[in-house]
C-alpha cells in the first residue's frame, strides 16, 4: 500500500515513486502538506487508486513545477491544477480522462504558464478542440484522443517546439505550412487524422527535423522538393494517402534516412537512381507497396542499401529509434501477412516491401547481399526469371513473399539455410521440380506452394516419382523438347510400317539388288 507515513516528511522537495507497484487508496489532498515540493512523480502505478475530491478546498504546493501522473487511473481532468502558477512539466497521459478540456486549462496555457515546456495528454478520451500550445513550449503531445476541428493557426507562435505529436485524433483541415519552418522541431507526428490538401510546404534549410509522419490522412498532390532540405531526417512516413507523384529520387541524398514508407498512394513510373554517389546509405525500412510503380526492380538502389548489409553481432541489448524520454518512432509494416504496427522500431529491424505494383524483369541477385534483411515482400507484380541462389545468403530472413508473379525454374536448395524463416509464400508462379526439404522447409504447408502445377514433393500430395502425377502442362514441356510420348509413338508407328513394307518386298522379290549393292559397298 501507499505509505501514508511519507506525509510526515514535510520538507520534501522531490518525491519520485514511479513504477513501484503501489496499491491502495490515496487521498491526493494530503500532498498540500508539502509546502516546498517541486517535483512529484506517481506514474506507472496502475494498482493505485487516487482520490481527487472535487469538493475539497485544497491547494497543491505553490512551488510545484513538475507533475507526472501518467497511468494512475485518473478519469476526470484534475481541477487542482488551476491554482498552480509556475508549472514547467505536466504529464497526464495513459489515463481515462474523458470529455472536453476545461476552459480554465486553455486560459492557463495562453496566459499564465509562461515557463511550461512539456505537456503530455496522450492516450486519454479527450474531446473538443485542440488546445493551443503556449509560446516557449518544447514538447506538446496530445495523441490518441478524440479531438476534432482544425489545427489552430495560433500554433504557429509555438516556434520553439521540439516535438509536436497530434497523431490518432479526428483533426481535419489542411496542415499549416508554418510547421515546416520551426527551427528546432525534431518530430512532427500528424498520422491517423482526417487532414487533407497538398503538402506544398517550403521546408527551410538547416531545419532539425528527424521524423515526419503524415501517414493515414487524405493528403494529395505531389511532394515538395524542399523535403531534401531535411538533411537530418531519419523517418519519413507518407503511407495511406492520395499523393500522386513519381518516385522522389531527390531524397536519395538524405544520408540519415532510415525509414521510407510511401505505401498505398498513387506513385507511378520507374524507380531509378539519379546520380547520388551513395543513395540511401542508412535505409533499413523501404516500403513502396500498393502503388503504380513499373519497370524493373530498383537494383541500383538496393545494392546501395548498406544499412541492410551488415549485421551487428556485437550489439548488446535492444536499441530503438527516437528520443526514448519523449517520443518513440513507429511504423506500420506488412509483417508475415497482416498489417502490424511497430510501436517502437528496433535499430536492427530491416525490411523491403515492393508488393502490389507493376514491377517486371528478373529478381536482382544483389538482394542476396542484404544479410541483415528480416522481411522481403515482392508479391503481386510481373517478375519473371528464376529465384537467385544468392537468396540463400539472407540468413536473418524471417518472411519471404514472392507470390503472384511469373517466376519459373526450381526452388533453390540454398534456401534451406534460412534458419529463421517463419513464413514462405511462393504461390501462384510457374515454379517446377522438387520442393527442397530440411530446415524450415519442413514446417511450411501447401499454401506456400499453391498455383505451381509443376512442383512436387512434400508437403504437396503429388509425388515426384510417378509419371502419372505430372500434370498436362509438364507433358507439354516434354513434347517441346522432342521427347514427349506422342513423338515416340509416332516414330514407333512409322518404323513398324516401314519394316513391314520392307519385309514384304524381300519376301516377294527375293534379295533386292539395291540392298545387296549397299551391303557390299559397306563391306568393301
pLDDT in tens, 7-27: 999 899 999 999 999 888 888
Span of 206-215, 239-248, 308-317, 505-514 with lowest mean pLDDT: 505-514
CA distances from 199 to 28, 218, 241 (A): 47, 11, 11
Find cell 496522450 and name the residue: 122
Percentage above 90 pLDDT, the chain? 65
What pLDDT score was predicted for residue 337? Answer: 57
Q: Which of 305, 294, 304 is nearest to 271 (CA)?
A: 294
For residue 108, name the pLDDT band (cuts at 50, 70, 90).
very high
What pLDDT score was predicted for residue 25? Answer: 86
What pLDDT score was predicted for residue 489? Answer: 47
pLDDT of 343 > 90? The answer is no
Name the range with the highest mean pLDDT among 61-75, 169-183, 330-344: 169-183
Find cell 538533411 and name the residue: 231
Span of 186-200, 290-304, 432-446, 479-493 with lowest mean pLDDT: 479-493
What pLDDT score was predicted for residue 329? Answer: 63
Residue 472 buriedness (CB in 10 A; 0-12 / 13-18 / 19+): exposed
Q: DSSP assignment, residue 452?
A: -
Q: Nearest 5 degrees, angle CA 65-CA 66-CA 69? A: 135
What pLDDT score was predicted for residue 518? Answer: 46
Span of 240-254, 336-350, 392-406 with lowest mean pLDDT: 336-350
Rounded CA separation 28/33 (Å): 10
What pLDDT score was predicted for residue 63? Answer: 85
pLDDT of 403 > 90? The answer is yes
pLDDT of 472 > 70? The answer is no
pLDDT average, residue stretch 438-467: 90
pLDDT average, residue stretch 448-476: 73
pLDDT of 254 > 60? The answer is yes
Q: How many CA atoms lie within 13 A of 455 on its CB side?
A: 25
What pLDDT score was predicted for residue 514? Answer: 44
For residue 373, name the pLDDT band (cuts at 50, 70, 90).
very high
Find cell 549397299 and name the residue: 518
Q: In what order do the strands lie in the sheet with 242-243?
A: 98-100, 125-129, 146-150, 170-173, 194-198, 218-221, 242-243
Nearest-10 crossing angle of helices 472-480, 485-509: 50
Contacts of 66 (CB under 8 A, 6+ apart): 38, 39, 40, 41, 88, 89
Q: What is the largest CA-CA distance in the chain?
A: 136
For residue 60, name the pLDDT band (cuts at 50, 70, 90).
confident
What pLDDT score was predicted for residue 475? Answer: 35
Cell representation of residue 459: 508437403
Q: Are 157 and 181 in contact (CB under 8 A)?
A: no
pLDDT mean across residues, the chain? 85
For residue 325, name the pLDDT band (cuts at 50, 70, 90).
low
* Beta-bridge partner residues of 520: none
What pLDDT score was predicted for residue 474? Answer: 39
Q: Are 114 and 88 in contact (CB under 8 A)?
A: no
What pLDDT score was predicted for residue 339? Answer: 58
Q: Are 131 and 105 in contact (CB under 8 A)?
A: yes
Contacts of 4 (CB under 8 A, 6+ apart): 30
What pLDDT score was predicted for residue 470? Answer: 44
Q: How does pLDDT run across 112-128, given as a tens digit for each residue? A: 899 999 999 999 999 99
Rounded CA separation 4/28 (Å): 11
pLDDT of 287 > 50? The answer is yes
Percentage above 70 pLDDT, the chain? 80
Q: Are 361 and 384 in contact (CB under 8 A)?
A: yes
For residue 446, name the pLDDT band (cuts at 50, 70, 90).
very high
- At 355, which helix (H) or strand (E)? none
Contacts of 15 (CB under 8 A, 6+ apart): 6, 34, 37, 39, 40, 41
What pLDDT score was predicted for residue 91? Answer: 96
Q: Are 51 and 26 in contact (CB under 8 A)?
A: yes
Cell representation of residue 68: 507526472
Amino acid at each position: 500500500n501507499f505509505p501514508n507515513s511519507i506525509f510526515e516528511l514535510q520538507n520534501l522537495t522531490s518525491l519520485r515513486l514511479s513504477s513501484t507497484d503501489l496499491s491502495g487508496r490515496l487521498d491526493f489532498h494530503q500532498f498540500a502538506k508539502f509546502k516546498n515540493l517541486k517535483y512529484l512523480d506517481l506514474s506507472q502505478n496502475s494498482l493505485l487508486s487516487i482520490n481527487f475530491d472535487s469538493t475539497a478546498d485544497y491547494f497543491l504546493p505553490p512551488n510545484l513545477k513538475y507533475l507526472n501522473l501518467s497511468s494512475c487511473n485518473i478519469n476526470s481532468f484534475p481541477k487542482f491544477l488551476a491554482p498552480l502558477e509556475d508549472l514547467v512539466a505536466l504529464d497526464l497521459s495513459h489515463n481515462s480522462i474523458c470529455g472536453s478540456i476545461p476552459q480554465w486549462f486553455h486560459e492557463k496555457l495562453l496566459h499564465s504558464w509562461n515557463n511550461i515546456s512539456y505537456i503530455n495528454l496522450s492516450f486519454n478520451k479527450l474531446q473538443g478542440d485542440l488546445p493551443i500550445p503556449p509560446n516557449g513550449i518544447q514538447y506538446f503531445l496530445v495523441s490518441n484522443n478524440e479531438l476534432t476541428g482544425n489545427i489552430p493557426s495560433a500554433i504557429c507562435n509555438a516556434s520553439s517546439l521540439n516535438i509536436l505529436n497530434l497523431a490518432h485524433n479526428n483533426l481535419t483541415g489542411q496542415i499549416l505550412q508554418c510547421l515546416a519552418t520551426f527551427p528546432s522541431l525534431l518530430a512532427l507526428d500528424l498520422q491517423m487524422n482526417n487532414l487533407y490538401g497538398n503538402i506544398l510546404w517550403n521546408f527551410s534549410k538547416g531545419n532539425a527535423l528527424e521524423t515526419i509522419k503524415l501517414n493515414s490522412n487524405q493528403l494529395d498532390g505531389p511532394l515538395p522538393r524542399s523535403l531534401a532540405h531535411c538533411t537530418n531526417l531519419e523517418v519519413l512516413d507518407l503511407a495511406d494517402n492520395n499523393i500522386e507523384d513519381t518516385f522522389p529520387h531527390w531524397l536519395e541524398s538524405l544520408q540519415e534516412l532510415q525509414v521510407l514508407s510511401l505505401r498505398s498512394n498513387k506513385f507511378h513510373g520507374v524507380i531509378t537512381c539519379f546520380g547520388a554517389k551513395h543513395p540511401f546509405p542508412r535505409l533499413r525500412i523501404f516500403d513502396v507497396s500498393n502503388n503504380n510503380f513499373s519497370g524493373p526492380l530498383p537494383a541500383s538502389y538496393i545494392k546501395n542499401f548498406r544499412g541492410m548489409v551488415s549485421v551487428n553481432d556485437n550489439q548488446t541489448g535492444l536499441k530503438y529509434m527516437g528520443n526514448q524520454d519523449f517520443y518513440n518512432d513507429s511504423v506500420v509494416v506488412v509483417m508475415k501477412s497482416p498489417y502490424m504496427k511497430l510501436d517502437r522500431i528496433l535499430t536492427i529491424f530491416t525490411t523491403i516491401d515492393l508488393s502490389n505494383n507493376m514491377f517486371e524483369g528478373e529478381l536482382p541477385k544483389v538482394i542476396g547481399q542484404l544479410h541483415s534483411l528480416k522481411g522481403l515482400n515482392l508479391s503481386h507484380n510481373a517478375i519473371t526469371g528464376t529465384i537467385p541462389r544468392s537468396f540463400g545468403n539472407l540468413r536473418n530472413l524471417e518472411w519471404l513473399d514472392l507470390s503472384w508473379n511469373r517466376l519459373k525454374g526450381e526452388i533453390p536448395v540454398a534456401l534451406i539455410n534460412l534458419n529463421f524463416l517463419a513464413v514462405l509464400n511462393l504461390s501462384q508462379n510457374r515454379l517446377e521440380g522438387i520442393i527442397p526439404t530440411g530446415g524450415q522447409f519442413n514446417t511450411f504447408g501447401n499454401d506456400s506452394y499453391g498455383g505451381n502445377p509443376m512442383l512436387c514433393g512434400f508437403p504437396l500430395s503429388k509425388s515426384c516419382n510417378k509419371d502419372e502425377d505430372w500434370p498436362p502442362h509438364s507433358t507439354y514441356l516434354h513434347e517441346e523438347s522432342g521427347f514427349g510420348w506422342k513423338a515416340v509413338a509416332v516414330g514407333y508407328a512409322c518404323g513398324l510400317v516401314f519394316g513391314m513394307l520392307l519385309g514384304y518386298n524381300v519376301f516377294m522379290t527375293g534379295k533386292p539388288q539395291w540392298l545387296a549393292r549397299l551391303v557390299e559397298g559397306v563391306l568393301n
